[in-house]
Structure 1
Amino acid sequence: MKNLFFLFIIPIFYLIARDLNFERLYVNVNDCLKGSKCFQAVASSFLIEKGKSQDEYIPSKIHDYKKETAWCVSKNQGIAEFIYVPYQNKASINKYKEILQRGDYYSLFTIVNGFAKNEDLFLANNRVKKVSIEVQEIGYTMSVSGPDTATGTDIYIDDGPLLNSIHEIELADTMDEQKFKLKIVPKSKKDLNLQMDLLFKIIIKEIYPGSKYKDTCISDAGFSILVPEKNKPQ
């Protein structure tokens, strides 16, 4: 009987050790839950404006590739508010072994500041002056969907989340698209055959004040891998 009890208690401790809240967040942002939408931005809050649809300024507006829409926040004029933005890696070149052999891994951060639908809205609302980008690293393998994988997926998280890096960035007060190259150095040492994935969190630190409103907006933002020249398709 003692041995039987021991067999039952191991899976329980294993489930407790897993960060299920992080798994749900990671899958919602960077992957697809079966039966639901894929690659969804997740934010601390968003503006609901009287007389407009409740989804007018929702997090997904930051990742719809449209300057005419925006994710907006009103709490504390946006200071300390944050948003997780989807990132699609390239599994063909994201194995730890290959990254370390190349000796480089860069991500491109692209952003359209403020409410860039037109100049009047851009100036009337707050724009972002400084952001902190927190990068979480995940070492994973693909597996058959089951109790050990992230719920609703075929992803098995072998290592992480690990805090990979924090990047402090100052943005120009312009409606033009801005780009920043972020160097990523892998942290996981568990298994060189794992794939590396990244989860990006943008935190608002400072703003450019709007002339009329206290809401802070970002029209578009995204992260993409900078593929090394030798790995680019011909």
Structure 2
Amino acid sequence: MLLAGLGGFILWAVQERSQSLPVEPPPTDEPAFAQTPPEETPTPAPAPEVSEAVTPAETPDEPEAVTPAFAPADTPEIAPAEPPEEAPPALAEPEVDLPRPSTETEDCSRSGDTTICASSVLAPGHGNSYGPQNLTDGNDSTAWVEGRDGQGLGEFAVVEFGSPRMVRTLTIRNGYNKNADIFAKNSRAKDVEIRFSNGDSLEITLRDEPGSQSMALAQPIETKWIALVIRSVYPGSKYADTAINEISVDTD
């Protein structure tokens, strides 16, 4: 009886115990410990937009090339145009200091304050002389005739003034104007170079005819002397001697 009573008491105690305890939910497949979710990699915040007016910081020791705001980055920089050179004044005073051309065999003649020289002179003959004085005597029966072998290419005559003159016009009487026969027999200058003491020069072509041929300069030239150099000729029918009858200069 005692055992039966003890057993009944134990059974009652167990039932009371089970009723007083909280009911646990049935086990699940989840682990006993809650899983910590994987840490998410933080997304970097977007960089703040930089205003066009803000200039990025320069990298030390690497200066940043500056592109002009008005040109694309790939457009080469164009150097500014140089200002045009000023035109020289029309009547600029030249330096009158170049020595006149001369030769060891030259022949010179003086008239007043003007000296006339020739690089060579044909030897006198038939009662005629052919020196440089004939270039300014105003006489068609006389002429300067060069004395070099051949046609006299490179030979010259010089008119030298006592002081600088402003030359405007040059007049030449080509050939030996004594008469038509003598004119044809002797050579006449064709292309001549005119030189001035300031370094200027010009080329002119003379006509193959007697009489005066005048050449007005494009602008007056201040000079101390004028030289006429023979560059080519009209060959004479008999003589290989080039003649020039007269040279005159219009000066101020």
Q: TM-score, structure 2 length as denominator?
A: 0.52
The answer to whether the 8 A contact 2:194-2:201 is kept is yes
Shift in Å, 1:46: 0.6
Specify the SS of the correspondent of 2:168: strand
CA RMSD in angstroms comes to: 3.3
Shift in Å, 1:59: 0.7
Q: Which residue of 2 aligns with 1:112?
A: 173
Identity of aligned residues (%): 30
- Higher-Rg structure is 2
The answer to whether the 8 A contact 1:74-1:214 is kept is no
Q: Which residue of 2 aligns with 1:183?
A: 218
Looking at structure 2, the residues matched to 31 and 74 of structure 1 have their Cα atoms a distance apart, in angstroms, of: 20
Q: Which residue of 2 aligns with 1:14?
A: none
> Which residue of 159, 176, 193 corresponds with 1:132?
193
Q: Does 1:47 align with 2:102?
A: no
Q: Which residue of 2 aligns with 1:83?
A: 157
| Larger helix share, 1 or 2 | 1
Q: Which residue of 2 aligns with 1:208?
A: 234
Q: Which residue of 1 aligns with 2:35?
A: none
Q: Does 1:67 align with 2:140?
A: yes
Higher relative contact order (CA 8 A, sep 6+): 1
1:11-50 equivalences under 5 Å are 22=99, 38-50=113-125
Residue type at the aligned position of 2:203: E
Structure 2 portions without partners, runs of 5+: 1-96, 103-107
| Larger strand share, 1 or 2 | 1
The one-character-per-residue Cα deviations of 1:24-76 (angstroms, maximum 9, x if unpaired) are x8xxx8988xxxx64221110010044545xx100110111111110001313
Q: How many equivalent pairs are there?
A: 151
1:61–1:216 CA distance, 2 compared to 1 (3 A): same
The one-character-per-residue Cα deviations of 1:150-209 (angstroms, maximum 9, x if unpaired) are xxxxxxxxxxxxx1x1110000001021000123566xxxxxxxxx54310000001001
1:86–1:222 CA distance, 2 compared to 1 (3 A): farther
1:223–1:87 CA distance, 2 compared to 1 (3 A): farther
The one-character-per-residue Cα deviations of 1:193-233 (angstroms, maximum 9, x if unpaired) are xxx543100000010011111111001012112x6xxxxxx
Q: Does 1:122 align with 2:157?
A: no
Shift in Å, 1:87: 4.8
The answer to whether the 8 A contact 1:30-1:199 is kept is no
